[in-house]
Structure 1
Amino acid sequence: MATGPVLICRPGPRAAALAEAIAARGFAVERGEAMALEPLPETAETRGAWLDFDQFRRVVVVSPYAAECLAAVLDRYWPQLPVGIDYYAVGAATAETLHRELGVRVHVPPGGGETTSEALLALGSLRRLDDQRVLLVAGEGGRTLLAETLAARGARLTRLAVYRRRLLDPTAALRRRLAAGDYRALVVTSGEILEHLARWCAETALHQPLIVSSTRLATLAGTLGFRRPVVASGATPAALAAAVAEADPEQANVDHDDLEKG
């Protein structure tokens, strides 16, 4: 494994928590800006959905930034939240954001598995949605699996895009690291970002450890030519930091020695 920093390319404010978790494991960390998150302006469609928010039976939120956007708009339209709505989040960070900002109980995929759309859809309460009004709060574009499956299960679905993702060209410094493979590991939790960065990855970089948050991303990594994908147990900072340590033979030896001494 190379001796450079661990590169993280997580957009938005969550990058700071990820950097802190990896640094706590004893690694130098460098952030690479590859994507910006931008809230979308309100439209007549979105305003109508916010005004009718109390008519939804279930609200599904796909990311922490979507949760932040939802909380901000509900603060304007619904200072007191309507009752009788069940909230769902694809991952723990999204659930934590909803709970912190709105004070609501949130359904998440079962513990111990990946935090993916597929895992969320396995919840029993989402298996039959006959004629229930369901709101899906997401970013612009992205995967269609959630929307298609919820609609196929009978939901009267409204999908609202509340933010956009804008890809950024890597800085000269990041391009040099990707071209030379001059880093200890690369941490990516978005397929869009992974495909974007692959354009600048030379052969050496493709043989460096790539830390991803799901088997779906690992499969994509393989098609892009990455030889050493490591699947974390989830997309949380702790899970990703643990995967970085797992991919580092020196760190693994240290952990093993500590266990032997214990």
Structure 2
Amino acid sequence: MLPVLITRPGERGDALADALRKNGYAVDMLPIMQLVPLTETPAQRSLWLDIDQYRKIIVVSPFAAHCLSDALERYWPQLPVGIDYYSVGTATAEALHQRLGVRVRTPPTDAVEDTSEALLTLPSLRQLAEQKVLLVAGEGGRLLMTHTLRERGARVTRSEIYRRDYRAPSPAAVQQLHTGRYQALIVTSGELLQHLATWCHHGALHQPLIVSSRRLATLANTLGFTATTVASGATPPALLAALARVGSSPGADVDQGL
């Protein structure tokens, strides 16, 4: 049975692998990225202590949600009131709700994908004159959210509280990517896709690639991938549904595009 390759790190990667296995797929995990919390600086500590000055907090990933929750639990035994919380995806919203018990606004239910662009269509994020907004994210990444909020009048503070450490695939994984001997590859990060593309040769470029947004599909096309399918989001159910659409069924042993 050819495996499905997944690149998601940490607990979310484990959850995706479990969901795939429960649906009958073989899974190989490619541990090529690790998320690492950044050491708290005096400036960061001051930011957490002044968190009650912000009207809105936008969290871009589940790992950012856990890092933020750790900080608020240290400095705020009782959360300040009057803050609206937002997240790009449902997994991030669930992490915030579980850890902090807060209600979190996510992209509209009729949005095709859970993306920054979809979140920015919410009416409450359109008119932001002089509102203080905290954006909690990792190092690097896209600045679309920051720029758009500032254009709408917000006073935005971007707090980068973790970094992404990349590494080369194992020799066995390099061989898989060289030959394309797998059912599908699942990638939900643009930086991760660019890093991984270094090892993707002809075989891999023609195998099914599942991504979580149209933006990633555009990047994949630029990198030379020819069989990209866009999931409706980065959750396990959305990725499983996309995998089913490409015809990669559990137990399949047929190489495609080789």
TM-score (norm 1): 0.93
Report deviation, 1:24. 2.2
Q: Distance in 2 between matches of 1:162 and 1:20?
A: 28
Cα separation, partners in 2 of 1:75 and 1:151, compared to 1, 3 Å: same
Q: Report if the CA contact (8 A) 1:91-1:116 is conserved.
A: yes
**Structure 2 equivalent of residue 207 of structure 1:** 206
Letter in 2 for 1:219: T
For structure 1, the residue ranges without an aligned partner over 5 or more in a row are 252-262
Letter in 2 for 1:241: L
Quick check: 195-204 or 242-251, which moved more?
A: 242-251
Letter in 1 for 2:60: V
Q: Distance in 2 between matches of 1:229 and 1:24?
A: 24
**Structure 2 equivalent of residue 85 of structure 1:** 83
**Structure 2 equivalent of residue 97 of structure 1:** 95
Q: Report if the CA contact (8 A) 1:130-1:153 is conserved.
A: yes
Q: Report if the CA contact (8 A) 2:130-2:155 is conserved.
A: yes
Letter in 1 for 2:158: R
Report deviation, 1:152. 1.1
Letter in 1 for 2:135: L
**Structure 1 equivalent of residue 239 of structure 2:** 240
Runs of 4+ with deviation above 3 angstroms:
none
Report deviation, 1:131. 0.5
Report deviation, 1:47. 1.1
**Structure 2 equivalent of residue 13 of structure 1:** 11
Q: Distance in 2 between matches of 1:98 and 1:217?
A: 25
Q: Distance in 1 between matches of 2:24 and 2:246?
A: 14
Q: How many percent identity over aligned positions?
A: 60
Q: Secondary structure at the match of 2:150?
A: helix
1:1-262 pair list within 5 angstroms? 3-112=1-110, 113-248=112-247, 250=249
Q: Distance in 2 between matches of 1:154 and 1:238?
A: 36
Q: Report if the CA contact (8 A) 2:64-2:136 is conserved.
A: yes
Output one character per residue of 1:118-170: Cα deviation in whole Å (capped at 9) or x when no partner.
00001000001111111000001100000111111111111100100111111
Q: Distance in 2 between matches of 1:19 and 1:63?
A: 19
Q: Distance in 2 between matches of 1:79 and 1:101?
A: 12
CA RMSD, 1 decimal: 1.0
Report deviation, 1:36. 0.6
Q: Secondary structure at the match of 1:13?
A: helix
Letter in 2 for 1:215: R
Q: Report if the CA contact (8 A) 2:3-2:184 is conserved.
A: yes
Letter in 2 for 1:131: E
Q: Distance in 2 between matches of 1:132 and 1:54?
A: 13
Letter in 1 for 2:104: V
Q: Report if the CA contact (8 A) 2:56-2:134 is conserved.
A: yes
Q: Distance in 1 between matches of 2:32 and 2:113?
A: 24
Cα separation, partners in 2 of 1:41 and 1:250, compared to 1, 3 Å: closer
Output one character per residue of 1:72-121: Cα deviation in whole Å (capped at 9) or x when no partner.
01011001000000000000000000000000000000124211100000
Output one character per residue of 1:21-75: Cα deviation in whole Å (capped at 9) or x when no partner.
1122211011001111000011122111101001100000000000000000101
Q: Distance in 2 between matches of 1:84 and 1:223?
A: 44
Q: Distance in 2 between matches of 1:201 and 1:249?
A: 19
TM-score (norm 2): 0.94
Q: Secondary structure at the match of 2:161?
A: strand
Q: Distance in 2 between matches of 1:223 and 1:158?
A: 32
Q: Distance in 2 between matches of 1:138 and 1:99?
A: 17
